[in-house]
Structure formats: structure tokens, C-alpha cells
A and B are shown apart, each in its own frame.
Chain A
């Protein structure tokens, strides 16, 4: 067990956990930020995607001890104040989710893509979203959602 100071969604948090604990479980079990989901634990499904300094990362394989001081962690809960990030708006407008379980990860990947590239081509969107599995197969809507969000950026 060790103490870690984390900068999550704009606030400082102190947690005492074992150093190999992946960020995913620190967020979920210790900070009670359960929007970030567990899907595979081996960086294969994207359900656990968060932003670290704006970059989409798989939190399930990121030991908390590797997060350097000052790194800014953003989870779905912190993507926007009122759930109105362009990606969230687009997701609502198009009613993207089915079960919804994968969608936080989808939105985090999509928002990181758009922060980097405001007007991605269809091919670029597909490549960027390829790492996020949706078992309900809402892929058509996710694609449309990213396109719509891109227009709102």
C-alpha cells in the first residue's frame, strides 16, 4: 500500500492503494467514479478509456504508480460540467446506446480523437474507434455520433 495524489476531473484526490492497482480500479472502487467501465482488463475492449493529459488511455492496464505527479486524469464524469460536450450532445441526439455499458469508453475515445482532429474522415473515425468494442453493435450510430459531434466542435 502506498499513498498517491491524483488529479482527477479538476480536483486533487488522495488514495491509499497497492501500487500495481490499475487506475481503473482506483477510480471505480476507491474514488467511486464508476462511469469508467471494466470490460476485459487487458487493453482489448476500450470500456475503461480515460484521458490522461488529453490522450485516450486504457485505464485497466495503467498501474496507479505510473501516473506522474501533475498528470491530469479526465473520466466520463469530468468530460463536461453538464453532460453537454459535443460528443455527449451528439450521443443524446442520435440515441446511440443500447445497453450503454461500452459507451463511456466510446465517448472518451471519440472526444480525444476530436480534440486532436476536429474534422476526421470516415476512415479516420473508424480507425480511431476500432479499439472500442460494442457488444450491442451500435457501430453505425457511433460513427454517425462522431460525425455529428465533429460538426459541433
Chain B
């Protein structure tokens, strides 16, 4: 973002008498937003893309990105406050709604909020700081070089006189916006790099309303829906007599292939949902997991796949090999299972709609709602609540559309809620997939590597094949093939790599064994080959990956585990962050237990260590949990599990202790919501191999140890 005259809304009269300096502070803020004609009419409600400085020196910073527990509502304003040079205690953070005039990337996804916001956020803070300095210099009639910003005040370096920001903001707002501002040096940071607790923390611990499901308005009704129980089915007819006779049920009606149940409270709508008798038909194939397994096998051996990267002459390398290793890995669909089930509030009126709820993609949803209701997008407002988890599921706002549709029929504000069963069975699942990975070995060296993905509805795309080990091997090929299914799939935390990393890293372990090399040393050696590679497509840094490998090896005492403790190693790069992990597994009564994971991370400058560690720990445990237990099948289009009695999520007694170490450097920050998850599965597989002698190729791993597991 270039902060310029046009997107730097300056002074306005705040209704309570304060003044504010408004500036766009997101990297992707639009630069060409027209200024309102009458600046004096600006008020708190009109613009929400600014830093507001009150007369008493307090600062409000607006957070535009959706908060799903990844911490951006705290960490993004921290960056602004740092450059603004204001103590954190004086900062108040507010969540903004969707405002496409002002912000472009109001999305939570891909671990990109911090990385893409870094420059814009700093520029916003620094620009305001410089203008406040100038205003003070003007007041004292001295050169701006003679003043410094210190903790919310401008200090005259000669006289030590002070003016706090609130005393300067009005003057500052009248100044020209500087073309170029200097950022602080990392050494000067006072907020970045310090532990700052989550800005909503005090509300969370007291149980105050924060989430979508907590949203309430007078006159609101509650709704749930019945959707086709199997993928591929359509609604033929239904009988709602019993449901409608239930006290508190307001209406039951069809919309598309779904049935809406509207009631005076949530429970009544859930209860009525069970009383509706629906008849479903199908002219599509109702698919089962066995079908998928064989379809994916066929795709793995078929010739017509899409080649995403092809270095050297892979076929020749395999022809000349002394030895070829080939393995096939499989993973199931996975539901997201956000702790807060999908829900949305909608109030649709003639020509307009107002929506409130948990959504990772407000802008996209706004457009879709407008299209659905055949109204202008600008007449659809979306406010974002805190989200009880996202993991990719809330990228797909179908639930918001359902809420809008039900409200438009009822002509009443409604809150539409998924039961847990709806949430688990009406998902946008991580696609089931298989990988075939092969390596050619000649004269004790790895000479060729090929990887093929077969996936339901597709997965990997252009960027991913440029991750490690791309660039480390002369002969290297990645190809993909897909099968189009009527089961809906989509992004699931660390999409594309959440299973891929596990397979590749487990495969490396086998190669190391064949080459009689230590797995850590083998990776370090492979990465040596990458240095000097001039291919600009290579996404990762060999040096940074080597650094995290060494850090993880050191902190885990790699190779020196106690009797009965078995270590597995991985190193991976995704979402712009470099990670290495060591898992420690012990066998307890014949079952592998992941006791500890050491995780070394290079994500550049760590903005908020206490929250960054939390993210990293969560990502690791999530990765361990789903690779160990995540089991989800389809039978005739119907999911095998619909609630937590049949779907096993990792719990307290199974969660490993996670130790997190960050590489300290002054490089630009990258995301942390996802990158610690994909490697975890491989670390566990490698450790289980050492612990049990069994090499695991299929997730969930627990299935290899448990016959007739009642949960499976």
C-alpha cells in the first residue's frame, strides 16, 4: 500500500468531541477510495479503516481481518501500535465489519494475514507518528529532527518538553501526508516480540457474548435445516405435520433441496427437525469409500495425469537405478469439526440484507448473498463475530446463504444453526487422497524422485511442487490426477500439504535407511544441493530449512533418546514458514503414544510470542490428532460419523507435550496458523516405525494397531 493523500482520511469531528486521524492500515487497502466530499461530516460510524486518537491520548486501532483463533485481532494492531510508538496499554482494538471500499483482503486463510499485512500496518503506524512529530515541531517552531516520539508523546529533545498525541492530533491531521516514512529497526521494538495477551481474553474467560451463536436481536427467530442425508440425493417430498404441531414451531418449508425449520428457540427447531419425514431420491451415484479407494488406485497407475513439475530426466534415472523404492500412502476425507457449529444471522428486507456471523470470507459471501437475493452487493452488510474455529470450513459461506434465504422467506431476522450432526455430515471435507512416491538409487546415491497424487476433486496446485525437495534433486517429477465426486471438498487447515508432507517425510525416512544415512544428516545434505540453484520457482530457503533442522535436532537431543522413547524426524516448508519437528513415541500396552513433539520454526520476526507458541502447539497437536485418529468414511453417499461419539478428536490424555523454539532473526514475519500441522503426521509415522518396527502408509495410524475399534 502506498499511503497517500487520497486514502488518508484525516480529521473528523467525533460525536463525543474527540478527534481522529484516520488512515488505511492494511497492506491491501485500496488506494483509490474517493474522499467523502465533506470531511467535517466524518464520524465514528462512517469510516472504520483508521487509527483513532482521542484528545486524552488513547488510541483505537481497527482490526479488519476475521479472527478465528489465530490471533490477528491482537497481532495486527500490535504492529501498528509499534510504529505509532504508543504503549499497548493505551490501545483499544475494535473489529470492523466488511467494508470493501476500504479493505481488500478481509480474509482469514492460508496463514497470510500477517505476512501480507506487514508493510501496510507498519506504514500506517509510522506515517501517523511522523505527522504527529511534524505537528509538534511546528508548534515549538523547531526542526522535526529535534523531536522524538516516545510512548504516546512527542518530546522536544532540547527542552525535554512533551506533548501527548491527543494534544497534537488535530494539527497533525491538517498536514501533508509524507511520501516516505522510515520504519523502526527490530532492535527498537517495544511491543513486537513481547507477550501480549489476546484482546478478547477477559471476555472469553467471563463467558461474554462473542461468537456467532451468541448473537441475538429482539424479534429474532431460530432456524435449522434438513439437507440431503447422502451426497447425490435430492428432496422429493416431505411431511411436516408432526413437526408443525410441536409447540414453538413457527414454520417448516422447502427451499431448494432443503427443508427449513423455524422456531422460537434453537432446541425446538432441533427437536422439530427430527419429526419431519422426508423422502429423498437420487439420479446420481451415491459413492462409497471403497469406490474411492479403487478409483484412486486406478488414477495412480493411469498415464493421463497433469505434470506440475518435471526436472531432468526422471525416467532415465529410474531405468539406470540399482534400486527403486516405491510406496503408496492413503488418507481419508476429514471434517473440520469447528467447535462452534456453522451458523449465521440474517435479516433480509426488501432490497437489503444484514448478516452477522462467523465467516472467513465476508467479501465473497456478500457477493453470493446479493446474487441469491437479486439485490445490489452494496445493500448487503456483513459483520463478523469471533469464530469458534475455522480451519478452512468457514471459507465456504453456504450457511450464510441459507440464513439469508430463510430470513427472506420469513421476513424476520433469523439465526440459522447447524446441529453438530449437520455440521459433521454436511461438510466441505479435506479430500481423500493417495500418493505414490518413488525413488531411484544408484551407487548409494538418490538419483531420481517422482511423486504422484490422486485425489478426490483435486488438491495440489502449481506452487506446491516447488517446496522441498524440489531443487535438491536433478531428476524430479510431480504429477496429479483427480476424480470428480459429488462429495463436497475444500480447504482444510494447511490444504494441499496436510497429508502430502506426512507421506514425503515418511518416505525420506525409508530412503535414509536404505542409504544408511542419519535422517537429519540426509536432509541437511539434500539441502546443500539446493544452494546455488537459480530456479526462481523454488519457494523455500535451503539455509533457513537447515537452520530449523539443526535447532530441532539440538533441542530434542536427536539420536540420544532414553530407553523406550523413539524419535521421528521431519522438516518441511509451507505457508512461507520453515519448520522441523521431532516426535517422541512410546509403546503403551501395544499402542503407540505420542508423548512429546519438539518443534523448531523460522517464521521471521515473531510478533507475539505467547500467541505464536499457542498456534504452533495447536497445529502440532492437531496434526498428531488427525493423523492418529481422523477416520471418516462414506457409505452410499453418507458419512460414517455424525458426532464425537463416532468421530475421534484428540483429547487431553493423548495430547503430546509440545516444545516450541523459534529461530531468532530480523526477517519479515510469515504465518503460523498452518505450517506446524503438515509435518506432524510424518514425525509420528517415523517415530512409530522406530517404536514398533511398523511402517505406516495409511491414516489414521491407530487403525494399524486396533482391530474392531468401536470408534472406527
B207 touches A104 (CB 8 A): yes
A139 touches B614 (CB 8 A): no
When chains A and B are docked, how far (Å) is the Cα of A14 from the Cα of B341? 29
The smallest C-beta distance from B247 to any residue of chain A, in angstroms, reads: 6
B644 touches A137 (CB 8 A): no
Contact digits for A93-113, partner B, Cβ 8 Å, 1 yes 0 no: 001011111111001000000
The answer to whether A37 has its CB under 8 Å from any CB of chain B is yes
A130 touches B207 (CB 8 A): no
The answer to whether B610 has its CB under 8 Å from any CB of chain A is yes
A28 touches B643 (CB 8 A): no
In the complex, which range does the number of interface residues on chain A fall in?
35 or more
Contacts of A38 in B (CB 8 A): 213, 266, 341, 420
B207 touches A98 (CB 8 A): no
Which of B213, B620, B655 is packed against the most chain A CB atoms within 10 Å? B655
When chains A and B are docked, how far (Å) is the Cα of A91 from the Cα of B319? 60
Selecting from B63-71, B168-176, B447-455, B631-639, the interface stretch reads B63-71
B207 touches A127 (CB 8 A): no
B339 touches A135 (CB 8 A): yes
The answer to whether A150 has its CB under 8 Å from any CB of chain B is no
Selecting from B225-233, B292-300, B564-572, B646-654, the interface stretch reads B646-654
A92 touches B205 (CB 8 A): yes
B69 touches A98 (CB 8 A): yes
B614 touches A138 (CB 8 A): yes
For window 46-60 of A, CB contacts with B under 8 Å fall at 47
For window 118-133 of A, CB contacts with B under 8 Å fall at 126-127, 129-133
When chains A and B are docked, how far (Å) is the Cα of A37 from the Cα of B610? 26
Contacts of B208 in A (CB 8 A): 35
Partner of A40, one of B387, B389, B644: B644
The answer to whether A71 has its CB under 8 Å from any CB of chain B is no
Main secondary structure of the interface of A (DSSP, over half): loop
Contact digits for B255-287, partner A, Cβ 8 Å, 1 yes 0 no: 000000000011110110000000000000000
The answer to whether B618 has its CB under 8 Å from any CB of chain A is yes
User: A1-B247, A129-B652, A142-B652 in contact; A100/B206 too (CB < 8 A)?
Assistant: no
When chains A and B are docked, how far (Å) is the Cα of A129 from the Cα of B654? 11
Contacts of B68 in A (CB 8 A): 99
Partner of B210, one of A29, A76, A100, A139: A100
For window 167-218 of B, CB contacts with A under 8 Å fall at 195, 197-198, 200-202, 204-211, 213-214, 216
Contacts of A79 in B (CB 8 A): 207
User: A39-B420, A95-B197, A130-B652 in contact; A140/B657 too (CB < 8 A)?
Assistant: yes
B197 touches A98 (CB 8 A): no
B652 touches A44 (CB 8 A): no
A34 touches B644 (CB 8 A): no
Partner of B69, one of A107, A133, A136: A136
The answer to whether B388 has its CB under 8 Å from any CB of chain A is yes
Measured CB to CB, the nearest residue on chain B to A64 is B267
Contacts of A7 in B (CB 8 A): none
The 23 listed contacts between A and B (C-beta, < 8 Å) are A18-B247, A29-B266, A29-B267, A30-B265, A34-B216, A35-B207, A41-B643, A44-B644, A76-B207, A95-B197, A99-B339, A99-B387, A99-B388, A100-B204, A101-B211, A102-B339, A127-B653, A133-B649, A135-B338, A139-B650, A139-B651, A140-B657, A141-B614
Listed from nearest, the 8 A-B pairs whose CB atoms lie closest are A35-B207, A99-B69, A101-B388, A76-B207, A137-B621, A139-B655, A25-B267, A98-B69
